[in-house]
A and B are shown apart, each in its own frame.
Chain A
Amino acid sequence: MVRRYGELTAVDGISFEIAPGETYGLLGPNGAGKTTTISMIAGLLAADSGAVRVLGEQMGPSRVAVKRHIGLVPQDLAIYPELKGRQNLNFFGRLQGLRGKELTTRVDEVLDLVGLTDRAGDPAKEYSGGMKRRLNIGIGLLHRPTLLILDEPTVGVDPQSRNAILESVEALSGEGMAVLYTTHYMEEAERLCDRIGIVDSGQLQAEGTRDELIRLIGGLDRVRLDGSGDLAAAADALGDLAAVEQVDVDRTGLSLAVREAPTAVAELVTRAIAAGVTLADVEITRPNLEQVFLHLTGRALRD
C-alpha cells in the first residue's frame, strides 16, 4: 500500500498478511504511518496504489460488503459520551446490521466480555478512562468481525485496565479472530503478537516473530558479572563454555555475550567463583524489540 498527503508519503509500500487466529502487531513510533495503514485496511482511506484484500475481496471506502468483515477500534475514543453504554452498543450494532433479539443478545455478550454489564445503564461520560476504552473495544466486537483492528487501544489507560484489555485481546485471538494491533509499547507487542511488523517512516522495516526479529541483531543475551579477584582467569574459564560467544574484562568485572543466558547463568557464576572471583552483582540483559528497533532505525521506539 502507498498513501501520500501532498509531498509526504505517509505509507510507502507496506505489505503484510494476517492469518485467522493470528495477532499481528504493527510496532512503530508516533508518526510512523501505523494509523494511515490501518485506515486503508479498515476502508476509511483509499490507497493511492496497491490494494487491501480481506478474505480475498478488495477493500475500499465504498466496499460495503467487505467492511462487514472488519471491526475497527480507533485510537480516539469512538463513543458517544451522552449515550449510555448499552445505547452506544445498540447504535453501532444497528449500523452493523444487527437487529431484534440478535442485537440484544450480542450487546449483552459484549458487555459481559468487556466487563461493563453493571455499568451498562450509565452514560459513557461517567465512565473511567479504562471503562471507556473497554466500551470502545466492545463496539468493534459486536458483529463478530473476521479481522479486528485495534489502533493503540491502551493509550492513556491505567495498568489494571490495560491488563484487562490485553487479556481480552488474547482471548479473542484464541477464538480464531485475526487481530491487527498497533502500538508503540514494546511490551504489549511482545506479549500479544504472534508476528510483528516494525514500521518507520511509512515503511515496513522488518517482519517476523519476536525471536526472528531478535536474531536480526545477533540474538545474544548480555551477562554482566561485577566483582573482584582474578578476573583474567575467570575470563579464560568462562570463554571455554559453548554458550559463551565473547568475554570482555574491565576493572570492575566481566561482560559476556551469551546464548540463552537464563539457562547458562548458573554455570557462569559457578565457574567465575571457582576461578577466584568474588562476585558483587550479576545482571542479565536480554535483547528486546526496543533494541531491534534501535538497530533497524537508529532511533528509540518512543522518540
Chain B
Amino acid sequence: MRQLWVMTSSDLRQRLRDKSVIIFSLIVPLALMFVFNLVFGGTDEIELEPVTVAVSAPADDEVAQTLLDAITGTGVVDVTVEQVPAEVARTAVADGEANLAMIVPEGFGEDVLAGTGGDLEFVEGDTSGLETGVVIVVSQSVLDAYAAGTVAATAGGGLGLDPEELGRVAVEAATAGPTVESTEGETSDEQLGQGAALVAGQAGLFLTFTVGFGVLGLISERQEGTLARLQSMPMRPGLIVLAKALTAFVLGVVATSVLLTLGGLFFDVSFGPPALVGLLILSVVTAITSLTFIVVRVARTAEQAGIIQSILAMVLGIAGGAFFPVTASGSLARVLDLNPIAAFTRGLGITSSGGGLADLAAPIAIMLGFAVVMLVVARLIPDRGVSR
C-alpha cells in the first residue's frame, strides 16, 4: 500500500504540474458551459412579446366579436387589435406594421353557428412568430368550441329535444372544460433545467477525458522508459496500473466536484444536498475509471489511447445528454439508461428536486454495475496494451 501511495502521490504532483490536465478538466468544460448557455440559454423561460393584429371583421358578427375578446384576453400574449379593411390588414402585415392579419368574411358568424363552416383567413409576415402562433391557436380553440356546440345541437335536434333544451345543450357543449387533464409526473421531477443539464452534461463528458489522463500517464511511463524500471521494483505489476487508476479517480472526483460547484455558482443552479451529490460523483467517477482498465489492455500507443478515449467520451457524453437531451423508446431507451453519464445526470435531477438516498438507488446501481462489468471485461481481454 505504501508503494501505491508513493506512485499515486508522485503521479498526482506531476499531473498537476502538467497544465493540460487543468485545461482539459476544468477550463475547457467551463468555457463550453458558458458558450452553450449563451447559445441555448433562456429558452426554457420564454418571454412573449406584444403583438399587433390587424382585423377586418363585420361589426355585427357575434362570432367575430367573441374571437376578438378571446385573443385580447389570453393573459399570455399582449394583443393590440386594429380594426381595418381587409386589404389594409394584408398590407399592414406585409409592411411590418402588424404582426398578424385576421380577416373575417361577411356571414362568417352565421355559417359557424349553422354548422356549415366558414373561411377565417390569417396572414402572417416577417414579424410573425411564437406570439402570433398563440393567437391563431386561441382563435382555433374558440371556433372548435362553437363547432362542438353546433354538433351537440344538431344531435339533440335529431333526438327530438325541444328548442330550449337544445340551446342549453349547445351552450354546455361549447363552454365545457376539458375532460382529460395532465399532471406533472415523476419523470418530469427527474429532469434538470437547461442550465443544470448543461453543467451536469459537460461535467460528465469531460470526466471521461480527465480520467483518460491516467491511461496517458501509463503510456508516458513507457515512452520515458520508466515503466520497465517500475516493473522491476519489488511490488506486484498490477500495482502500477492500480496507481494510475487511483490517480485518474482522484483527478476525476476533484474535477467533477469543482465543475458542479463552479457551474452551479455561475449559472445559479442547485443540485441538492452536497452529500448526495458527492455520492453520485464517487459513483460516476468509479464507473468511468473502470474504463481505464480496458483501455490500458487494448491501446498500444498514445495515439490509440487518445482515439479510444475520445470515442468513449463522445459516445457516452452525447448519449448522456452533454450537448442536448437524448430520448429514445423501447430497447434503445434501456441501453441509453445504462450509460453511467446519463445515470449521473438523472441522479442529479433527483437530488435537485428533493429526492433522497432511496431515490438514487437506481442510478447509483447502474453506475456501479457498469464499473463491475467493465472490470470483468478487462480481466477477460488479453493484455496487448501499454501495461505489458
Give me the interface of A with B, judged by CB distance under 8 Å. 39, 42-44, 61-62, 64-65, 67-68, 70, 72, 74-83, 91-92, 94-97, 139
Set of chain B residues within 8 Å of A42, measured between Cβ atoms: 228, 232
**Known interface pairs A91-B6, A95-B3; A78-B233 also in contact (CB < 8 Å):** no
Interchain CB contact under 8 A, B237 and A62:
yes
Of the four ranges (under 10, 10 to 19, 20 to 34, 35 or more), the interface on chain B belongs to 20 to 34
B230 within 8 A of A: yes
Set of chain B residues within 8 Å of A79, measured between Cβ atoms: 224-226
B231 within 8 A of A: yes
Contact partner, A92, options B17, B229, B231, Cβ 8 Å: B229
B14 within 8 A of A: yes
Interchain CB contact under 8 A, A44 and B228:
yes
Set of chain B residues within 8 Å of A61, measured between Cβ atoms: 231, 237
Q: Please report the C-alpha to C-alpha distance between residue A94 and residue B5 in the assembled complex, in whole angstroms.
A: 10
Set of chain B residues within 8 Å of A39, measured between Cβ atoms: 228
Q: Please report the C-alpha to C-alpha distance between residue A81 and residue B224 in the assembled complex, in whole angstroms.
A: 9
B236 within 8 A of A: yes
B276-299: CB near A (< 8 Å → 1, else 0) gives: 000000000000000000000000
Q: Top 8 A-B pairs ranked by shortest CB distance?
A: A76-B225, A78-B229, A72-B232, A67-B234, A78-B225, A95-B233, A68-B234, A74-B228
Interchain CB contact under 8 A, B234 and A65:
yes
Q: At the interface, is chain B mostly helix, strand, loop or mixed?
A: helix
Give me the interface of B with A, judged by CB distance under 8 Å. 2-3, 6-7, 10, 14, 17, 224-226, 228-237
From B224, B225, B226, name the one whose CB has the most chain A CB atoms within 10 angstroms. B226
Contact partner, B17, options A43, A77, A82, Cβ 8 Å: A82
Q: Please report the C-alpha to C-alpha distance between residue A83 and residue B233 in the assembled complex, in whole angstroms.
A: 19
Nearest residue, chain A, Cβ from B238: A62
Q: Please report the C-alpha to C-alpha distance between residue A78 and residue B233 in the assembled complex, in whole angstroms.
A: 12
Interchain CB contact under 8 A, A67 and B237:
no
Interchain CB contact under 8 A, B232 and A44:
yes
Q: Please report the C-alpha to C-alpha distance between residue A61 and residue B3 in the assembled complex, in whole angstroms.
A: 16
Nearest residue, chain B, Cβ from A70: B232
Q: Please report the C-alpha to C-alpha distance between residue A97 and residue B236 in the assembled complex, in whole angstroms.
A: 14
Set of chain B residues within 8 Å of A95, measured between Cβ atoms: 3, 6-7, 230, 233-235
Q: At the interface, is chain A mostly helix, strand, loop or mixed?
A: loop
Set of chain A residues within 8 Å of B235, measured between Cβ atoms: 64, 67, 95
Nearest residue, chain A, Cβ from B17: A82
Contact partner, A77, options B2, B14, B225, B236, Cβ 8 Å: B225
For residue B229, give the distance in angstroms from its CB to the closest CB of chain A.
Answer: 4
Nearest residue, chain A, Cβ from B18: A82
Interchain CB contact under 8 A, A62 and B232:
no
Nearest residue, chain B, Cβ from A95: B233
**Known interface pairs A95-B6, A96-B234; A77-B228 also in contact (CB < 8 Å):** no
Contact partner, B224, options A65, A68, A75, A80, Cβ 8 Å: A80
For residue A64, give the distance in angstroms from its CB to the closest CB of chain B.
Answer: 5
Q: Please report the C-alpha to C-alpha distance between residue A81 and residue B225 in the assembled complex, in whole angstroms.
A: 11
Interchain CB contact under 8 A, B6 and A72:
no
Nearest residue, chain B, Cβ from A77: B225
Interchain CB contact under 8 A, A44 and B234:
no
Set of chain B residues within 8 Å of A139, measured between Cβ atoms: 229
Interchain CB contact under 8 A, B224 and A72:
no
For residue B224, give the distance in angstroms from its CB to the closest CB of chain A.
Answer: 7
For residue A83, give the distance in angstroms from its CB to the closest CB of chain B.
Answer: 8
Q: Please report the C-alpha to C-alpha distance between residue A44 and residue B3 in the assembled complex, in whole angstroms.
A: 17
Set of chain A residues within 8 Å of B7, measured between Cβ atoms: 95
Set of chain A residues within 8 Å of B229, measured between Cβ atoms: 72, 74, 78, 92, 139
Nearest residue, chain A, Cβ from B220: A80
Q: Please report the C-alpha to C-alpha distance between residue A75 and residue B226 in the assembled complex, in whole angstroms.
A: 10
Interchain CB contact under 8 A, B6 and A94:
yes
Interchain CB contact under 8 A, A76 and B228:
yes
Q: Please report the C-alpha to C-alpha distance between residue A82 and residue B224 in the assembled complex, in whole angstroms.
A: 11
Nearest residue, chain B, Cβ from A68: B234
Interchain CB contact under 8 A, B224 and A67:
no
Interchain CB contact under 8 A, B228 and A78:
yes
For residue A5, give the distance in angstroms from its CB to the closest CB of chain B.
Answer: 11
Q: Please report the C-alpha to C-alpha distance between residue A74 and residue B230 in the assembled complex, in whole angstroms.
A: 11
For residue B330, give the distance in angstroms from its CB to the closest CB of chain A.
Answer: 45
Q: Please report the C-alpha to C-alpha distance between residue A77 and residue B225 in the assembled complex, in whole angstroms.
A: 6
Q: Please report the C-alpha to C-alpha distance between residue A77 and residue B235 in the assembled complex, in whole angstroms.
A: 21
